């Protein structure tokens, strides 16, 4: 029997783990793990992958580490990343999602992205309304915290004067059917789970964590088809799309797509099984997930569904009376993905050299909107702050966040004031962070 490739799971400190070894049930060989420690960890990480003789590194790379991992992948040309670095391009920012969709002609709301503030404001003077303005950078799913609806130029200007988002990312608002959008999850380009998410009664935005609701019923075929198209364009082993349906035309539009998404363990089991099939040249069985089976699974209470593992469907063998449900509706097959290549990545629209940008622009590239944080409970305690929270601070970069985290953990600083003794963060910036901290 042919030797199986050596699998490594890719982890990052402080980042939730999508996969666990248990998702690869039955894999006969040892599964390695490699953890990236942030900061200056590239060389050590590369060496560990080499030393453990890993052939396949499986896992999602968060937005803040995307560029670093492009370099790491380049240094490990014989290691297959699942999903590939190119496939994960859309994880980095909304700008990237848009560039990806434009390159592959996927249906999206009309979207404009401006690094030049004047140009952006000029566009907003003449475009149609409502517009949805978003902060482009960073992980998505802040639950709409950085997503704003504006009804005219005055509102757009007031918003951007305050938030100072660069790039200015603005798109036509789609009149949402049922005031909701649709999440579709795919494995090997086959939809395996899909549901509507509806806005709460006082919201325009669909946010299930703030009183919105969801339904596994009646996900339209054109949403599934668009998600499959995107998954194929991304060459994604696994993929999720958020899709809006225009209530007037029923046309489907991609709002977001990525390999990073929240999924119940049984879905991650299916992904693991799919990957084992892919890597073993058929020694492992492809998971069989009937289309629309989510409508039935969705009837199980979420608390129970969350604990269910390794759900298995056998293929339907027609014998007695045709049981409609066991027959696979639609024509989607789970397939092997095409290998990615570097020119899959869309061309950048970001100004050549970020450093040449005026200082104010640079600072807002990674901006957390400086909304006032009134609620004392929502403020950070310096000693308990996570790296993820540090990375949301205005004007901070990855290396500084890591350095500050280390200093806190080592007891070198006990307050923001202490940080001023060191010279890697400007004092004005430190002062601007105070409103996010207790005390």
Ligand X SMILES: Nc1ncnc2c1ncn2[C@@H]1O[C@H](COP(=O)(O)OP(=O)(O)O)[C@@H](O)[C@H]1O
**How far, in Å, CA of 289 to CA of 274, rounded?**
11
Rg (CA), the chain: 23
**Strand, coil or helix: 139:** coil
206 binds ligand X (CB under 6 A): yes
363 binds Mg ion (CB under 5 A): no
Please, which residues have CB within 8 angstroms of residue 407's CB and are 6 or more apart in sequence? 413, 419, 422
Minimum distance between the CB of residue 180 and ligand X, rounded to whole angstroms?
7
The only residue of 68, 93, 136, 140 in contact with ligand X, by rule CB under 6 A: 140
**How far, in Å, CA of 383 to CA of 372, rounded?**
22
Minimum distance between the CB of residue 244 and ligand X, rounded to whole angstroms?
5
Burial of 73 (0-12, 13-18, 19+ CB in 10 A): buried
Q: Which of residues 8-27 bind ligand X (CB under 6 A)?
A: none
Residue 163 DSSP code: H
278 binds Mg ion (CB under 5 A): no
Residue 243 interacts with, from Mg ion, ligand X, none (CB under 5-8 Å by kind): none
| The pairing of beta strand 56-58 with beta strand 131-134 | unpaired
Q: How far is CA 5 from the centre of its chain?
A: 27
Packed helices 94-103 and 221-234: angle between N→C axes, nearest 10 degrees: 90
Interface region with ligand X, contact rule CB under 6 A, candidates 48-56, 137-145, 216-224, 268-276: 137-145
286 binds ligand X (CB under 6 A): no
The only residue of 8, 120, 144, 167 in contact with ligand X, by rule CB under 6 A: 144
273 binds ligand X (CB under 6 A): no
Question: Which is closer to ligand X, CB of 58 or CB of 132?
Answer: 132
The only residue of 229, 237, 256, 269 in contact with Mg ion, by rule CB under 5 A: 256
Strand order in the sheet with 56-58: 32-36, 7-12, 56-58, 80-82
CA atoms within 13 A on the CB side of 275: 30
| Angle, vertex CA 140, rays to CA 138 and CA 144, nearest 5 | 115
Minimum distance between the CB of residue 94 and Mg ion, rounded to whole angstroms?
9
Q: How many CB atoms lie within 10 A of CB 232?
A: 16
**How far, in Å, CA of 235 to CA of 83, rounded?**
8
Minimum distance between the CB of residue 98 and ligand X, rounded to whole angstroms?
10
CB 394 within 8 A of CB 368: yes
CB 284 within 8 A of CB 273: yes
173 binds ligand X (CB under 6 A): yes
The only residue of 41, 86, 95, 181 in contact with ligand X, by rule CB under 6 A: 181
Residue 132 interacts with, from Mg ion, ligand X, none (CB under 5-8 Å by kind): ligand X
* Number of shown-chain residues binding Mg ion (CB under 5 A): 1
93 binds ligand X (CB under 6 A): no
Minimum distance between the CB of residue 141 and Mg ion, rounded to whole angstroms?
5
223 binds ligand X (CB under 6 A): no
Interface region with Mg ion, contact rule CB under 5 A, candidates 46-54, 249-257, 259-267, 406-414: 249-257
Tokens encoding 217:
């019923």
CA dihedral over 377, 380, 385, 390, signed as positive or negative: positive
The only residue of 147, 286, 297, 387 in contact with ligand X, by rule CB under 6 A: 147
Q: Which of residues 325-384 bind ligand X (CB under 6 A)?
A: none
The only residue of 86, 95, 229, 242 in contact with ligand X, by rule CB under 6 A: 242
Minimum distance between the CB of residue 173 and ligand X, rounded to whole angstroms?
4
Question: Which is closer to ligand X, CB of 174 or CB of 279?
Answer: 174
Question: Which is closer to Mg ion, CB of 126 or CB of 209?
Answer: 209
159 binds ligand X (CB under 6 A): no
**How far, in Å, CA of 292 to CA of 233, rounded?**
23
Interface region with Mg ion, contact rule CB under 5 A, candidates 45-53, 200-208, 254-262, 270-278: 254-262
255 binds ligand X (CB under 6 A): yes
151 binds ligand X (CB under 6 A): no
Taking alpha carbons only, the member of 357, 362, 350 closest to residue 395 is 362
Interface region with ligand X, contact rule CB under 6 A, candidates 173-181, 260-268, 285-293, 413-421: 173-181
**Strand, coil or helix: 425:** coil
CA dihedral over 34, 38, 42, 47, signed as positive or negative: negative
The only residue of 142, 313, 325, 424 in contact with ligand X, by rule CB under 6 A: 142
171 binds ligand X (CB under 6 A): yes
**How far, in Å, CA of 56 to CA of 84, rounded?**
10
In the complex, which residues of this chain contact Mg ion (CB under 5 A)? 256
Contact footprint for ligand X (CB under 6 A)? 109, 132, 134, 140-144, 147, 171, 173-174, 176, 181, 205-206, 242, 244, 255-256
């Amino acid at each position: 029997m042919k030797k199986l490739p050596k699998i490594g799971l890719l982890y990052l400190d402080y980042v939730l783990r999508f996969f666990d070894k248990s998702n690869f049930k039955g894999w006969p060989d040892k599964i390695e793990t490699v953890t990236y420690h942030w900061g200056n960890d590239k060389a050590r990480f590369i060496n560990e992958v080499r030393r453990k003789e890993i052939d396949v590194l499986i896992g999602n790379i968060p937005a803040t580490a995307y560029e670093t991992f492009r370099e790491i992948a380049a240094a490990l040309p014989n290691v297959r990343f699942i999903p590939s670095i190119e496939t994960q391009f859309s994880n980095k920012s909304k700008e990237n999602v848009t560039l990806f969709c434009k390159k592959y002609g996927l249906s999206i709301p009309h979207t404009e992205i401006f690094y030049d503030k004047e140009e952006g404001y000029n566009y907003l003077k003449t475009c149609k309304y409502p517009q949805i303005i978003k902060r482009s950078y960073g992980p998505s799913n802040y639950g709409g915290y950085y997503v704003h609806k504006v009804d005219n130029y005055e509102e757009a200007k007031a918003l951007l004067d305050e938030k100072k988002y660069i790039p200015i990312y603005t798109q036509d608002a789609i009149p949402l059917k049922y005031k909701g959008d649709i999440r579709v999850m795919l494995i090997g380009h086959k939809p395996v789970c899909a549901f509507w998410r509806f806005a709460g009664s006082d919201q325009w935005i669909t946010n299930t964590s703030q009183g919105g609701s969801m339904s596994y019923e009646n996900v339209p075929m054109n949403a599934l088809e668009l998600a499959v198209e995107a998954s194929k364009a991304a060459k994604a082993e696994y993929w999720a799309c958020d899709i809006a349906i225009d209530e007037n035309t029923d046309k489907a539009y991609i709002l977001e797509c990525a390999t990073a998404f929240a999924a119940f363990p049984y879905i991650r089991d299916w992904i693991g099984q799919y990957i084992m099939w892919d890597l073993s040249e058929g020694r492992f069985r492809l998971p069989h997930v009937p289309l629309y089976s989510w409508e039935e699974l969705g009837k199980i209470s979420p608390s129970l569904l969350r604990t269910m593992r390794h759900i298995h469907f056998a293929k339907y063998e027609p014998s007695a009376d045709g049981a409609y449900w066991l027959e696979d509706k639609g024509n989607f097959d789970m397939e092997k993905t095409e290998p990615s290549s570097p020119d899959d990545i869309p061309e950048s629209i970001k100004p050549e050299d970020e450093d040449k940008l005026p200082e104010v622009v640079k600072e807002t590239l990674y901006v957390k909107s400086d909304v006032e944080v009134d609620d004392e409970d929502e403020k950070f305690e310096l000693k308990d702050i996570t790296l993820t929270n540090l990375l949301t601070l205005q004007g901070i970069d990855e290396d500084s966040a890591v350095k500050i985290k280390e200093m806190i953990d080592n007891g070198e600083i006990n307050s923001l004031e202490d940080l001023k003794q060191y010279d890697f963060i400007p004092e004005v910036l430190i002062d601007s962070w105070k409103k996010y901290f207790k005390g």
